Structure 1
Amino acid sequence: MSRNKETGRKIRLMRKVNQNRRVPGWVIMRTDRKVTQNPYRRHWRRNNLKL
């Protein structure tokens, strides 16, 4: 990727960065461990983004 990115691409990349987090502990507690995984988790080396 280029060093200088356009604003729209940066916003989309930041959205993906924020999505790539684990489910908070309070959510796991509140749902009695029914929700433990985040379906949007992604590893930077295994999966590519379509931007």
Structure 2
Amino acid sequence: MPSEIMNLPDLTCYVKLAGNFPITKLTMQLQNLNTAFVCEYKLLKKLKLVEY
């Protein structure tokens, strides 16, 4: 089982929820950030209006 987890493709994981739910394999999609958002964030960071 540990080797199966280590060899999962990118953006793929196993999820275990509380309660009587089975463990499920989940594959996610990478979402592109809006270019305007990225540029605005870089400006805010340069002006030190955000900490991270």
Q: Give TM-score, length-normalised by structure 2.
A: 0.24
Q: Report which of the two has the higher share of helix.
A: 1
Q: Report which of the two has the higher share of strand.
A: 2
Q: Give TM-score, length-normalised by structure 1.
A: 0.24
Rg bigger for which structure?
Answer: 2
Q: Looking at both structures, which has the greater relative contact order when contacts are Cα pairs under 8 Å and sequence separation is at least 6?
A: 1
